[in-house]
Amino acid sequence: NAGVTQTPKFQVLKTGQSMTLQCAQDMNHNSMYWYRQDPGMGLRLIYYSASEGTTDKGEVPNGYNVSRLNKREFSLRLESAAPSQTSVYFCASSGQGTGANVLTFGAGSRLTVL
């Protein structure tokens, strides 16, 4: 199993350009998440999706949109990129069950906005 796969791994954008980060999981998890991590900082939740067809805002949703395309895929879109969105983006997923609600992360997507 691949787990959580993110694409692209690296991307450089100019201010005002748009792009979509893709995330797919093959663990049949219901919940999926997008985090960003700035240098020297912890992870901050952007958006999450508790199940197919639902999405909710996290701590820092401004400037982003998400789509839960199906149970496997959860994409993050930047409509008009800004330098403040330069960051490493992590996608994660989690299953269900009282003790089994554990996050599995992807390898990250490093985005630079010039």
Partner 1 sequence: DAKTTQPPSMDCAEGRAANLPCNHSTISGNEYVYWYRQIHSQGPQYIIHGLKNNETNEMASLIITEDRKSSTLILPHATLRDTAVYYCIVRLPTGNQFYFGTGTSLTVIP
101 lines the binding site for partner 1 (CB under 8 A): yes
- Residue 38 is encoded by which pair of tokens? 């700035």
Cα 102 to Cα 8: distance, rounded to the nearest angstrom: 24
Tokens of 30: 């219901």
Residue 95 found at the interface with partner 1 (CB under 8 A): no
Residue 17 or residue 72: which is nearer to partner 1 going by CB? 72
Cα 96 to Cα 11, 27, 30, 44, 50, distances in angstroms:
33, 11, 7, 22, 10
Q: Which stretch binds partner 1 (CB under 8 A): 21-29, 62-70, 72-80, 94-102?
A: 94-102
Residues making contact with partner 1 (CB under 8 A) = 4, 31, 33, 35, 41-45, 48, 50, 56, 58-59, 88, 90, 92, 94, 97-99, 101-108
